Amino acid sequence: MSLQRRKSLVNTLQNLLKQQIDFARQGQISTVQELSTKTSFVAEQIAIEKILEMDEFKIYKKQLQKAYEDLSMALKVQKNDVAEKVSQIKKGKKTVRAYKKNI
């Protein structure tokens, strides 16, 4: 595989991760999931070719690790937001049931 092709794969992965991070921060989790298929495929190709183990790609490896951490954090924030909303809904249902019993 040519150096240009390797760089192209790494750049594609970086772009896909950036898109996923942006969508996760916007709460568009279904879009994050859609992109994850492409992201996984590109990451798999990079792993098969052992691109990130090459000296000239060391800096990319650190950048990609940071991007994965950012994506993970963005998804955790969304998970916490959803959990909080579910909790609020449960409290609301409980209140409605209490009112319903007293009417």
Q: What is the DSSP string of 10-69?
A: HHHHHHHHHHHHHHHHTT-HHHHHHHHHHHHHHHHHHHHHTGGGSGGGHHHHHHHHHHHH
Domain of residue 41, residue span: 3-76
Instruction: Decide if 68 is inside a domain.
Output: yes
Phi-psi region of 54 (alpha: psi -120 to 50; beta: other; left: phi over 0): beta
What's the pTM? Answer: 0.78
pLDDT of residue 44: 96
Q: How does pLDDT run across 63-91, given as a tens digit for each residue?
A: 999 999 999 999 999 888 788 888 888 88
Instruction: Decide if 83 is inside a domain.
Output: no
Number of domains in the chain: 1
Q: How does pLDDT run across 18-53, given as a tens digit for each residue?
A: 999 999 999 999 999 999 999 999 999 999 999 999
Instruction: Decide if 45 is inside a domain.
Output: yes
Instruction: Decide if 88 is inside a domain.
Output: no
pLDDT band at residue 54, thresholds of 50, 70 and 90?
Answer: very high
Instruction: Decide if 47 is inside a domain.
Output: yes
